[in-house]
């Protein structure tokens, strides 16, 4: 069951990433884009998964300016608008989880970000995302600290 839950949260992150990509690409309404991304899923999500994916999408949209500033401050020589859309949205999702949705262990957030980048991004995306997320995570207080 525990593995199923983790896999489910991975699916929710994928759907959230797809929605954020649509918002970034076409200015789509975030929650409509999320609903559309779930429609393509073969296995209908339960209420907990929908709630988790909505929290991610809403949170990224709500904190977008601060998230983008944190990413730019860490990604020397890369302005956010010059990054590939998939890469910047994977980073946005992970940074939101690291700073505002802290019930997910840091290591899980980093691994999930790299996996999303590998699945949806370019050949170089995994290493790019890993490097930036490692630097951002290193700036956080130790896990368990207030």
Q: Where in the sequence is the domain holding 113, given as residue range(s)? A: 2-138
- Do the domain assignments include residue 145? no
The 10s digit of each residue's pLDDT in 40-53 is 888 888 899 999 99
Higher pLDDT, 146 or 47: 47
Whichever domain contains 119, its CATH number is 1.10.940.10
23-73 pLDDT per residue, tens: 999 999 999 999 999 998 888 888 999 999 999 999 999 999 999 999 999
- The structure tokens 């393509």 sit at 40
Give the pair of three-digit tokens for residue 55. Answer: 């929290």
As a whole number of angstroms, the distance between CA 49 and CA 43 comes to 11
Q: Cα(132)–Cα(57) distance, rounded to whole angstroms? A: 21
112 within some domain: yes
User: Tokens at residue 50, please?
Assistant: 């929908």
- The answer to whether position 146 is within a domain reads no
């Amino acid at each position: 069951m525990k593995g199923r839950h983790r896999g489910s949260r991975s699916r929710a992150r994928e759907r959230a990433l797809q929605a954020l990509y649509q918002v970034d690409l076409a200015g789509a309404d975030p929650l409509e884009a999320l609903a559309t991304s779930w429609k393509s899923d073969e296995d209908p999500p339960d209420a907990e998964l929908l709630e988790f994916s909505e929290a991610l999408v809403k949170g990224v949209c709500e904190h977008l300016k601060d998230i983008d500033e944190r990413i730019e401050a860490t990604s020397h020589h890369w302005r956010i608008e010059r990054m590939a859309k998939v890469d910047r949205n994977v980073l946005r999702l992970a940074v939101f989880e690291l700073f505002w949705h802290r019930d997910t262990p840091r290591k899980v957030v980093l691994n999930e970000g790299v996996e999303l980048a590998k699945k949806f991004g370019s050949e170089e995306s995994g290493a790019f995302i890993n490097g930036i997320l490692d630097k951002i995570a290193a700036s956080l207080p130790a896990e368990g600290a207030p």
